[in-house]
Amino acid sequence: MAGQRVRFDELVDRARLLVGTGERKVLGIGGAPGSGKSTLARRLVDALGDDAALVGMDGFHLAQQELDRLGLADRKGAPDTFDVPGYVDLLGRLKAAGPDVVYAPEFRREIEEPIACAVPVDPSVPLVVTEGNYLLLQHDRWKRVRLVLDEAWFLLVDEDLRVARLIDRHVRYGRSVEEARERVLHGTDHVNALMVNASSAAADLVVAEVL
> Which pLDDT score, from 0 to 100, does residue 175 have?
79
Q: Looking at this protein, which amino acid is placed at residue 137?
A: L
Q: Would you identify the CATH topology of the domain 4-210?
A: Rossmann fold (3.40.50)
Q: How far apart are CA 13 and CA 6, in angstroms?
A: 12
> Which pLDDT score, from 0 to 100, does residue 112 have?
87
> Which pLDDT score, from 0 to 100, does residue 88 have?
98
> Which pLDDT score, from 0 to 100, does residue 122 have?
97
> Which pLDDT score, from 0 to 100, does residue 125 have?
98
The predicted-structure confidence for 90-137, as pLDDT tens digits, reads as follows 999 999 999 999 999 999 988 889 999 999 999 999 999 999 999 999
Answer for the pair 97, 23: CB distance below 8 angstroms, yes or no.
yes
The predicted-structure confidence for 24-78, as pLDDT tens digits, reads as follows 999 999 998 888 899 999 999 999 999 999 999 999 999 999 999 999 998 888 8
What is the average pLDDT score of the chain? 91
Domain boundaries, the chain: 4-210
> Which pLDDT score, from 0 to 100, does residue 186 have?
66
Percent of the chain with pLDDT over 90: 71
pTM of full prediction above 0.85: yes
DSSP codes of every residue in 119-182? EEE-TT--EEEEEETTTT--SGGGHHHHHH-SEEEEE---HHHHHHHHHHHHHHTT--HHHHHH
> DSSP assignment, residue 61?
B
Angle ∠(128,57,205) on CA atoms, nearest 5: 60
